[in-house]
Structure 1
Amino acid sequence: MSGGGIDILFESKNYFYLGNYQGTINDINKKSKQIADKGLKNEADYYLYRSYIAQGNYDIVLSEIRNSESSPILQGLRLYASYLSSPSQNKDIALLTAKEWIKDGMVQFNYNLQVIVASLFYQEQDYEEALRLLNNCDYIEGLSLLVQIYLKIDRVDLAEKAYNLMKGIDIDATPSILALAWIQIAQGEEKIKSAYACFEELAEKYGPTPLLLNGQAVAAISMRRFDKAETLLLESIEKDSKNPDTIANLISCFINMKKPVEVIDRYLNLLRTISPKHDWMNAVSEAEDAFQRSKSRYGH
């Protein structure tokens, strides 16, 4: 906060929540002279480097944050960037380090580090560990991640409870609005229209981002408005051609639209390259394994 209680990072953070990561980077760089206070600088660095990570620019994070960095948050960001740069190679050391930090009490009262470490577990689909870490959180970003995890494990009831806590903190905060929209999609039926309108309103107010366009598209797919979903997803892929969720949602959309198999396969191969652990790829892998077992069983 600066004088008068004005949060000069409000716009930077809001860009981040909306998925406009370059907007966050630009806004923080533009305000660099105003960010003199050490606490404010730490917070700015947190959103700056998280934005680079979200863009897949891991090398920037790894080159700017030294191994000897003393700030726990920056250590966490370096660990997370290192993990994401090569999950198969760096997974073991990243998880071991994260669990050591938890054991040492380094994470317990550091909200930003909590989100980073919980995000690491989330990426590894270790939802139990992520939930344990965020169990008693009482801040917007942690609760937002809780909502995502609960929806991922089909516990809409618990996602609603987490959202109610967010609502009590700030009902108008962008993460609260987005959390409600995703819960409404999970609830289905008439609620989906409200979710679609929510994503659309945010896109009109702040500009469309892949995150908002994907939200709209998922709602459109749920309402079987596949042509509209395709339009939204093609707009999203123009903004970020390597966004895994956009590609996965396009696959879902194209299957429903009965697009040619070679078109669907092209996007499946792209998703396999970009995000081999994506939920879609896990589903495809399980289906292929089941098919192979079936062939073996019947001797084909």
Structure 2
Amino acid sequence: MADELLFESKNYYYLGNYQSAINEIHKKSKAINDKGGKQDADYYLYKSYISQGKYDLVQVEIKSDSTPTLQGLKLYASYLQSPQSNKDITLVTIKEWIKDGIVQNNYHLQVILASIYIHEQDYEEALKIIHQADFIEGLALLIQIYLKIDRLDLAEKAYNVMKGIDIDATPSLLSNAWIMIAQGDDKIKSALMTLEELSEKYGGSPLLLNGQAVCCILLKRFEKAETLLLESIEKNPNDFETISNLVNCYINMKKPSEVVNVYLQQLKSSPQALKSVWLQSVSLAEDNFERSKSKYAASSV
């Protein structure tokens, strides 16, 4: 019963429509009577708040005597609020929980803690937590990790397990789209179709709009990509992925440097900038260019 009541809420969450997920959970909360259903509702509610950047709200509302899963979400919110200053205590806490056996058999907590390691770009530790996942959300996260470390073969293997559980589940459809993008060539068109169908059915979210835009950039459909990304920015003006993809799109479109630089500066001021490999490479290229320009100017004197 709870699974049916939470179906729409979970779907909204998976697709990145976080406010819709929150609204749906509040709407259905009184009808959820069993303990497990209430815990699931709280999990997706607070994860949605975290995805919106409402870290203070999560930390205030989750009490010290809450379930391990909610404590994990509180830890996640604290970490994301200030990754540099809260990193050490967060990682120590995770190690303690693993040692105490709190994480074992707690699927939601496994996803939360593995997500923290992904933010740290410590994929080895993330895999230690999630590599034996046999549930949809865990497999979706596992596929993300494999794609980040360029192990398409392992991502495909994990997707085969996912198909056996529920091929039509939204995380399965999304995971297949990300895999097809990584496979390249004609598969990119298939990925684009999947993401377009999800957008038509559930509405465009920054997640879906970015996915479509990436496909369009790879297919050299830059004007279409720009339209999708500007729509995404209207929904979330500070979304790091959207702005990164828009910069990439504008570079390919050969837009004036002053247009590109506006978005590039916005990226550099984001808390996510320190963890962005792509932005680091852009900054390195800029530094090298400036050094070369200085040397040329000096030699011309």
TM range (shorter): over 0.9
Shift of 1:108: 1.7
Aligned-partner residue type, residue 7 of structure 2: F
**SS at 1:200's partner residue?**
helix
Out of 107, 132, 137, the residue aligned to residue 136 of structure 1 is 132
In structure 2, distance between residues paired with 1:109 and 1:31: 27
Following superposition, the deviation at residue 292 of structure 1 comes to: 7.9
Q: Output the CA distance in 2 between the equivalents of 1:59 and 1:146.
A: 28
5 Å-filtered alignment, 1:37-52, equals 37-52=34-49
If the length of structure 2 is used for normalisation, what is the TM-score?
A: 0.93
Q: Distance in 2 between matches of 1:74 and 1:91?
A: 19
| Code of the aligned partner of 2:279 | M
Deviates more, 1:146-155 or 1:216-225: 146-155
Residues 285 and 97 of structure 1: is their aligned pair in 2 closer, same or farther, counting only changes over 3 Å? Answer: farther
Match of 2:53 among 53, 56, 76: 56
Correspondence for 1:283: 281
Cα drift, residue 224 of structure 1: 0.5
1:80-118 C-alpha deviation (Å, 9 max, x unpaired)? 000001111111111111121112211121000000000
| d(CA) in 2 for partners of 1:134, 1:212 | 25
Other structure's SS at 1:8 match: helix
Displacement of 1:296: 11
Residue among 190, 203, 210 paired with 2:206: 210
Q: 1:15 is aligned with what amino acid?
A: Y
Say which of 2, 19, 34 aligns to 1:22. 19
Secondary structure of the residue that 2:33 maps to in structure 1? coil
Aligned to 2:179: 183
Q: Aligned AA for 1:105?
A: G
Distance 1:241 1:201, change over 3 A: same
Q: How big is the shift at 1:71?
A: 0.8
Structure-2 change in CA distance of 1:102 and 1:286 (3 Å): farther
Structure 2 spans left out of the alignment, 5+ residues: none
Task: Give how far 1:293 is off.
Answer: 8.5
Q: How does 1:165-204 map to 2 (within 5 A)?
A: 165-204=161-200
Output the amino acid matched with 2:119.
Q
Q: Where does residue 230 of structure 2 map in the other structure?
A: 234
Runs of at least 5 residues in structure 1 that lack an aligned partner in the other structure: none
CA gap 1:226/1:294 in 2 versus in 1, 3 angstroms: same
Aligned pair partner of 1:31 in 4, 18, 28 = 28
**What are the superposed Cα offsets for residues 19-65 of structure 1, whole Å, 9 maximum, x if unpaired?**
10001100000112112222111110000000000011111101101
Aligned mates of 2:92, 2:12 — CA distance in 1: 32
Give aligned pairs, total: 296
Q: Which residue of the partner structure matches residue 83 of structure 1?
A: 79
How many Å separate the matches in 2 of 1:289 and 1:206? 43
Contact 1:216 1:229 in 2 (8 A): yes
Instruction: Say if 1:107 and 1:113, in contact at 8 Å, map to a contact too.
Output: yes
CA RMSD between the two structures? 1.9
Residues in 2 aligned to 1:79 and 1:296: alpha-carbon distance in whole angstroms? 46
Taking structure 1 as the reference length, the TM-score comes to 0.94
Whether the aligned pair in 2 keeps the contact of 1:244 and 1:278 (CA below 8 Å) is: no
1:82-121 alignment to 2 at 5 Å? 82-121=78-117
Classify 1:286/1:106 alpha carbon distance in 2 versus 1 (closer, same or farther; 3 Å): farther
Deviations along 1:170-224, one digit per CA (max 9) or x if unpaired, are: 0000000000001111111100000000000000011111110001000000000
In structure 2, how many angstroms separate the alpha carbons of the residues matched to 1:94 and 1:285? 29
Deviations 1:106-152 (A, max 9, x none): 11210000000000000010011001111111001111011111111
How far does residue 70 in structure 1 lie from its aligned partner after superposition? 3.6
Q: Letter of the aligned partner of 1:69 in structure 2?
A: D
Cα deviations by residue, 1:218-253 (Å, 9 ceiling, x for unpaired): 000000000000000000100111111101100100
Q: In 1, distance between residues paired with 2:23 and 2:280?
A: 36
Once the two structures are TM-superposed, the CA of residue 162 in structure 1 deviates from its matched residue by 0.9
